[in-house]
């Protein structure tokens, strides 16, 4: 499957404890970049620290990520989400809801925070369209 493919879950995916999401989710093979530390605004060189994560599944309200390192619960992080045929990433704000070890990495559940300064509305529309096409 390509890095940006997504499809409806088939029910054959491994269970990750209990599912507390209220929205149906799409199985996704996409990518998210979380900004763990931001650089100084006055500097031209970037002192920020990013974490590239795989996306296991998506919904309008959240993502399940695979990450190389654990993330702190309740952390609010800017995210760039690369999905499907969209040329530009979705700029979102996410909150870490849970984090668990999984094989050689970590599974991380994040909730997408609704904010005027992000692409929240565009994200919800893109997920709705993907579900229609599913």
The backbone torsions φ and ψ at residue 131, rounded to the nearest 5 degrees and listed phi first, read: -70, -35
| Whether the predicted pLDDT of 75 surpasses 80 | yes
Residue 30 lies in a domain: yes
Q: Which domain holds residue 115?
A: 24-133
Domain count, the chain: 1
Residue pair 108/96 in contact by the 8 Å Cβ criterion: yes
Counts of helices then strands in the chain (DSSP H, E): 1, 7
Confidence of residue 133 (pLDDT cuts 50, 70, 90): confident
For residue 118, the domain's CATH number is 2.40.10.220
Residue 54 lies in a domain: yes
Average of per-residue pLDDT across 1-30: 47
Residue 85 lies in a domain: yes
Provide the percentage of residues in the chain whose pLDDT is more than 90. Answer: 53
Predicted pLDDT of residue 45: 52
pTM: 0.76
Average of per-residue pLDDT across 11-40: 63
Residue 90 lies in a domain: yes
């Amino acid at each position: 499957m390509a890095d940006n493919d997504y499809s409806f879950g088939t029910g054959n995916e491994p269970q990750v404890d209990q599912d507390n999401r209220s929205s149906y989710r799409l199985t996704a093979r996409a990518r998210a970049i979380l900004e763990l530390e931001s650089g100084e605004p006055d500097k031209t060189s970037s002192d920020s620290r990013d974490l590239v994560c795989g996306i296991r599944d998506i919904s309008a309200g959240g993502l399940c990520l695979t990450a190389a390192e654990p993330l702190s619960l309740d952390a609010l992080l800017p995210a760039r989400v690369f999905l499907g045929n969209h040329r530009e990433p979705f700029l979102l704000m996410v909150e870490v809801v849970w984090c668990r070890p999984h094989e050689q990495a970590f599974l991380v559940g994040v909730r997408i925070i609704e904010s005027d300064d992000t692409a929240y509305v565009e994200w919800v529309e893109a997920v709705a369209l993907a579900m229609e096409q599913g």
